[in-house]
Amino acid sequence: MSIIPSGAKMGSTNLACRHCDTALDLLEMRAVNASNLTPDGLFQCPYCSSWYYPEIGLLHSLYGDGQVEKEYFGTPLSLGGTQKRDLNHVKAGEHRPIKMHSLEPGYEYDSIYLLGGHRDGVDEDNWLSFDLVGAQNRAMLGDSVLISLLRTDATEITINATLRENRASKSPIGFGDTLEVVYAATTQLGGVTNPPWIDLLQEAQEAIRQGNTLAALPVLRSAVDNCLIRQMFVYQLWDGHEQESARQSIEDLEDKYDPNRITIAKHGLEQATGTRLTDGPYDTLWADFSQVVEERDAIIHSETASQLAHPDQSTAIDFFNTTVSLLVAAYDLFGFHNSSA
């Protein structure tokens, strides 16, 4: 049963019940034991009392209105995660530890990134330029101040406002001037156990944020491998198997073909639903993901290469969105969104 008084809301998490299509509110999370959010444990919806696997709740939330291909980069991914926006003040030349104003009890930072900054008390028409520098947690304010965000603890970050030594003598910002910094964070519930594919996507997302696109691509393919197998596993449970027989069914499928994502995308889905991810309604998306795999293979199998091509950040974000879109497409084909099934 819901613990929220009628009409009371604090903000949605990234878990949504596939049965009643209701996103779990942060107020409800106060009654959730985070250690109970595990890959193989069922979670009971506080609104309709139905049971579902938490990762299916995440996929249902990502599925949303049924539009599979969309912008997923920046989405909180850890089970029960959410997104926050905040602002704080820091003086030029200062190193300031702070806590996010709206961080819920039990939650901690997953990823932080800058949205903007300006001199406090200055009209917007006179704001200086704000440009990210390599990573999404570092930016230049005009040509005078380097602003950076650093996570120093599960619930604390530090804002640095470093004055450049070679700034112009008539710089509009001087030591001690107050700056307003706007930033956002994805947050996660401490103590949850995510399935591997979620951990891998989080690693990829953070690597892209830090400008380390080379590290992001290899784990995207691994995330797809794991998520497709996990979805097949949950489908087998949904279809009446016990956990052991569900695992055995997948092992039998992999013994017959090859133990990778193609086995599930092609043969597993066809066996379960009569359609394929490889050449069905999402064949173009599968082809797009194949380009992600080619880029990954060029990095992993680079024995004879004279140099590695580093994808730029926008390309890496496109690859990330393609990867998550493919996982949501599989969710669609497995039919988990059909609440009557």
Rounded distance between C-alpha atoms, residue 338 and residue 341, angstroms: 6
Q: In degrees rounded to 5, what are phi and psi of residue 164?
A: -70, 135
pLDDT band at 131 (very low <50, low <70, confident <90, very high): very high
Structure tokens at 74: 């920046």
What per-residue confidence (pLDDT) applies to 238? Answer: 86
User: Which stretches does DSSP call E strand in the chain?
Assistant: 12-16, 23-25, 43-44, 51-52, 82-91, 95-99, 107-119, 130-133, 135-141, 145-151, 156-163, 178-189
What is 82-189's CATH number, 2.60.40, 3.90.960, 2.60.120, 1.20.1300?
Answer: 2.60.40
Structure tokens at 48: 């309709």
State which amino acid sits at residue 148.
Answer: S
pTM of the model: 0.89
**pLDDT tens sequence across 183-197:** 999 999 999 999 999
Angle between the 54-63 and 196-209 helix axes, to the nearest 10 degrees?
A: 50
**Res. 215: pLDDT tops 60:** yes
Length of the chain: 341
Contacts of 252 (CB under 8 A, 6+ apart): none
| Strand pairing class (95-99; 156-163) | antiparallel
User: How would DSSP label each residue in 264-289?
Assistant: IIIIIHHHHHS--TTTSTTHHHHHHH
**Res. 226: pLDDT tops 90:** yes
Q: What pairs with residue 144 in β-bridges? A: none
**pLDDT tens sequence across 86-128:** 999 999 999 999 877 778 888 999 999 999 999 998 999 999 9
More confident residue, 29 or 72: 72
Average pLDDT over residues 171-177: 87
